[in-house]
Structure formats: C-alpha cells, structure tokens
Amino acid sequence: RKEVEQDPGPFNVPEGATVAFNCTYSNSASQSFFWYRQDCRKEPKLLMSVYSSGNEDGRFTAQLNRASQYISLLIRDSKLSDSATYLCVVNRNYGQNFVFGPGTRLSVLP
C-alpha cells in the first residue's frame, strides 16, 4: 500500500461545478499536509497548506481529519483554468520528508 493515496480520476466536470478530491495517508506520524497543483508539462506549485481546523482560500477549501488520516480539497465554481493534476503531499520528520500522492487529474469543460 502506498503511503499517500488519492482518487485516481480523471474528473471531468462542467464549468461552475463543485468537485471534491480525497487523499488518505498511512503514516500517523505525518506532521504537515499540502495540496499542490501541476499543470501539464510544468512543475508542481503549492496550492495551499492544510490546517487542522480546515482552511479556505477563495474557491478552495481544505480539510484534515487526523483520526481517519484523511485530507480533502473542495473546489467550488470550477473554472477552465482549474484544469490540472492535484497532488496531495504529506510531510514527516524523517527520510525523504515530503511524500507525494500520485495525483488526481481534473478537466473542467466549457
């Protein structure tokens, strides 16, 4: 089993839709959590950190459930420009430190 797992996707949604991505992690010692986005043929870029109390940044809402070892990302009012692969990232304090999930691809359709 991989340390970080995500919905395989792809998710194809119409503009304006709300879409949610799930991520689970197996290492209970994980300390920090992030969502990155990666556009086609580009490097990953930080979308948002995920805080214990949940956090929102405009149309994006991230939630963390430590008991269930589960992270989510909700995108409201999807835009064409949201089309990308969304990577769940977990930080632990040993080894490679940042562990990336395989990513979930989102296509927002006109």
Partner 1 sequence: GAGVSQSPSNKVTEKGKDVELRCDPISGHTALYWYRQRLGQGLEFLIYFQGNSAPDKSGLPSDRFSAERTGESVSTLTIQRTQQEDSAVYLCASSFGTGKGNTQYFGPGTRLTVL
Residues in contact with partner 1 by the rule CB under 8 A: 31-32, 34, 42-46, 49, 87, 89, 91, 93, 95-103
Smallest distance, partner 1 to C-beta of residue 49, A: 7
Looking at the Cβ atoms of 16 and 45, the one nearer to partner 1 is: 45
Residues 19, 74: Cα–Cα separation, whole Å: 6
Looking at the Cβ atoms of 22 and 49, the one nearer to partner 1 is: 49
Phi, psi of 80 (to 5 degrees): -55, -35
Phi, psi of 81 (to 5 degrees): -70, -10
